[in-house]
Amino acid sequence: MARLVIASYRVAEPKRGAAAGGLAVGIADALKARRGLWFGWSGRTAPAPSPEPDIVEHGGVGYARIDIASADHAPFYAGFANGTLWPLLHYRLGLMEFDRAALAAYRRVNAAFAAALAPLLSPDDLVWVHDYQLMLVPRELRSRGFAGRLGFFLHVPFPPPDVWCALPQGSALLESLLAADLVGVQTERDRSNFLACCAHCLGVAVTDGTVVHAGKQTVVETFPVGIDTQGFARTAARAALGRAARQLRESLGDRLLIIGVDRLDYSKGLINRFLAYDSLLHIEPSWRRQVTYLQIAARSRIEVAQYRALRRELDRLAGRINGEHAEFDWTPLRYLTREVPRATLAGFFRLARVGLVTPMRDGMNLVAKEFVAAQDAADPGVLILSAFAGAAAELTEALIVNPHDPQEIAEALARALAMPIGERRARWETMMARLREATAAAWAKAFLDRLEACPAP
Ligand code: GDG
């Protein structure tokens, strides 16, 4: 079996492995089975990027990590990756900032990653590069002589040509991705947008989802990311009996819980979600005192100005909603900007009657899947899900809403809160059956099987 090499911006702490959540959950089995190496950033900056990574081994898996040049980290990460690419890939041209110096830093960091990784590779390795921070790594690896099988997976959405083309020098990023043998995206919409961008920006031929550019063939397919469904369900069942869940239950009394859990990010639709809850309390006053909405929104990317502005806006809105609707013994909205431990979250999901997941645009949205996995089969909660989350393609029995319309979300909330148990169970069972099959491990296996089937270049 070929060795697996993963390259991603962040790497899990070796000792935590899959317990770290995120990407680690999906790739843990594959890394172990294929005596893998996980390559990425050490979390440190240094005057110059490390020429050689620091490598440690844990549980049969190697972890190779490099420092990023101090002068490059901010323009690379807060600048190009999260100030330019993130808004662009989420269709938010109005929030996109562009500056050539940031693009140059992004190029340097991607080149430094490839320069440190290339000497560790052998021609029959399977190399799998992840996400928008490393879009130039495929081409950089090829230019350093790596000719083996190379895959790239994009975790976030891919926009249509009219949006993508606004990015100066965007063609160079597309060309780099086409240096890979396999490009994976989350949904059919992302796939058709990516192919349309290749045809439109590069003028290349696209047939049956395969792109031929500069004499090289690249397959583009969808691989929707999953979660460790059974593992998360077990964690939730256990955590629901624990102290934090008991305290939450006691604090709620007879009130129904609506829960939202997101990184504090403008793509997650938090402002419209708060407005929707405000609207529910106005249009359906019978729910006053009968519900509590708990929103956990862990601070994220505070080095980017747009995220700080969003935080201020949400703080203001939360204050306004509570000021207007609260009673001396009822706080309608509980809003936390700190991280909550993963198991505690799982237990809270299980207590909730409604999971509110309304991103304006999201590659997949794992919270939606975690909410479903965490439910008690005898008394499952209802998922309200944005039509623009990748997860909506699979979780079709959720109440699907347009996140641009707070009123529509409010109506879905009223419907979810009043939904009879029979309908709740029927919807949940169908979604849960799907999630039991479409796990994170199945996702990684599908991608790697497909990559292995690509003809060796
Ligand atoms: C990107 C794409 C795609 C959240 N708050 C806390 C916490 N979380 C955990 C959730 C979930 C994860 O973080 C968030 O994953 P999402 O998928 O919802 O969103 P992104 O972070 O934007 O991820 C996304 C994903 O990549 C995978 O491909 O689905 O579309 O944007 O697991 O539970 N975890 C803990 N405390 C918190 O407060 N412990």
Q: What is the mean pLDDT of the chain?
A: 95
pLDDT tops 90 at residue 398: yes
Q: Which of 73, 90, 130, 155 is catalytic?
A: 155
Identify the helix (H) or strand (E) that includes residue 321.
helix 305-325
pTM of the model: 0.97
pLDDT at site 20? 66
Pocket test for ligand 1, best of 366, 372, 388 (most atoms within 8 A of CB): 366
pLDDT over 70, % of the chain? 99
Cross-strand partners of 220: 183
Q: Whose CA is nearest to atom 33 of ligand 1?
A: 367
Contact in structure between 236 and 279 (CB atoms under 8 Å): no
Q: Is the CB of 21 under 6 A from ligand 1?
A: yes
In terms of residues, how long is the chain? 457
Give the distance (Å) from ligand 1 centre to CA of residue 367: 6
Q: What is the dotted CATH code of the domain comprising 4-226+440-453? A: 3.40.50.2000
Q: Is the CB of 362 under 6 A from ligand 1?
A: yes
Q: Which atom of ligand 1 is nearest to the CA of 338?
A: 38
Higher-pLDDT residue of 352 and 303 is 352
Name the least confident of 11-25, 127-141, 180-194: 11-25
Instruction: Place 457 in a pLDDT band, splitting at 50, 70 and 90.
Output: low
Identity of the residue numbered 167: L
pLDDT tops 70 at residue 413: yes
> Quick check: do 4-226+440-453 and 229-437 share a fold?
yes
State how far the Cα of 221 lies from the Cα of 224, in Å rounded to an integer. Answer: 10
Q: Which atom of ligand 1 is nearest to the CA of 227?
A: 32
Instruction: Place 29 in a pLDDT band, splitting at 50, 70 and 90.
Output: confident
pLDDT tops 70 at residue 71: yes
Give the distance (Å) from ligand 1 centre to CA of residue 204: 35
* Phi, psi for residue 5 in degrees, rounded to 5: -120, 120
For the chain, domain boundaries:
4-226+440-453, 229-437
Structure tokens at 363: 């590659």
Q: Is the CB of 261 under 6 A from ligand 1?
A: yes
Q: Is the CB of 364 under 6 A from ligand 1?
A: yes
pLDDT at site 12? 86
Of 184, 179, 167, 164, the closest CA to residue 213 belongs to: 179
Q: Is the CB of 263 under 6 A from ligand 1?
A: yes
Higher-pLDDT residue of 302 and 356 is 356
The yes-or-no answer on residue 362 being catalytic is yes
Give the distance (Å) from ligand 1 centre to CA of residue 373: 15
pLDDT tops 80 at residue 280: yes
Q: Is the CB of 225 under 6 A from ligand 1?
A: yes
Structure tokens at 144: 């350093």
What SS3 state is found at 74? Answer: helix
Give the distance (Å) from ligand 1 centre to CA of residue 190: 19
Of 394, 351, 367, the closest CA to residue 21 belongs to: 367
Q: First CA to last CA across the chain, in angstroms?
A: 18
Q: Whose CA is nearest to atom 23 of ligand 1?
A: 365
pLDDT at site 342? 94
Q: Is the CB of 296 under 6 A from ligand 1?
A: yes
pLDDT tops 80 at residue 66: yes
pLDDT tops 90 at residue 456: no
* Phi, psi for residue 331 in degrees, rounded to 5: -105, 110
Q: Does the domain formed by 229-437 have CATH 1.10.1200.10?
A: no
The yes-or-no answer on residue 228 being catalytic is no
Q: Whose CA is nearest to atom 1 of ligand 1?
A: 155
Structure tokens at 415: 């419907």
Residue 263: C-alpha distances to residues 26, 295, 355, 368 (Å): 20, 11, 15, 13
